[in-house]
Amino acid sequence: MKNIVILISGRGSNMQAVVEAAIPDVRIRAVLSNNENAAGLAWAAERDIATAALNHKNYPDRAAFDAAMAAEIDRYEPDLVVLAGFMRILTPEFCRRYEGRLINIHPSLLPAFPGLHTHRRALDAGCRLAGCTIHFVTAELDCGPVIAQGAVPVFDSDTADTLAQRVLAVEHKLLPQAVADFAAGRLNISGNRVSSIRTADADAFLSN
Ligand code: GAR
């Protein structure tokens, strides 16, 4: 059984997708946030998942917040920490502590559009494809070995909101899949590349 801790900052729809996927041999130990009003916390608590919120404004600096968050995370002895819409930049120390067991979902086809406002920027750049990326987290923002990417078309009529919705539907499929692959030991990191060993079991899970 693999212990997973999920960090969110708001709605938590990606966290919900992971919980609802009921991934074999995965236990969602806790959902943590920097925002006590994050809607996803209440959703998780209703399902008897441990939750906690640490308000980053209560800490003198980024390092102090990250240390407190790490202490909270470590209570659950996670095999994997998932950043699912966690909107805080993490210190290099935090990234190093969870190296190889910290993944993030980002709403663009990295390395295009790291940072914020990804859908607006994809539209402004005239992209015909947009998408999302799941990657292992390294100290550099929105970098790190890519586990999976999903692409969607950009339509002439798109706004940042309609594009975000199309990408989000793909995020909800890709993130549970990546967690399942990690938990089953199917991901191998080599330099900046991740290879995944697919098995019949994995394909059966993904086709559901
Ligand atoms: C998702 O689109 C996720 O990719 C993005 O925030 C949204 C969270 O939605 N993450 C980032 O922008 C991280 N830089 P959710 O709370 O409904 O999962």
Burial string for 110-121 (b: 16+ CB within 10 Å, else e) reads beebeeeebbeb
Nearest atom within ligand 1 for CA of residue 83: 13
Confidence of residue 206 (pLDDT cuts 50, 70, 90): low
pTM, full prediction: 0.95
Cβ neighbour number for residue 42 with a 10 Å cutoff: 11
Report the alpha-carbon distance of residue 184 to residue 147 in Å, rounded. 14
Asked whether residue 18 carries a pLDDT value surpassing 80, the answer given is: yes
Q: Report the catalytic residues.
A: 106
Domains of the chain, by residue range, sit at 2-206
Asked whether residue 38 carries a pLDDT value surpassing 90, the answer given is: yes
Identify the bridge partners of residue 30 per DSSP, sorted by sequence position: 5, 50
Residue 208: predicted pLDDT: 60
Residue 196: predicted pLDDT: 85
Ligand 1 binding pocket, CB closer than 6 Å: 8, 10-14, 84-85, 105-107, 132, 168, 171
Residue 168: predicted pLDDT: 98
Q: What is the pLDDT of residues 122-172, one digit of tens each?
A: 999 999 999 999 999 999 999 999 999 999 999 999 999 999 999 999 999
Q: Which CATH architecture has domain 2-206?
A: 3-Layer(aba) Sandwich (3.40)
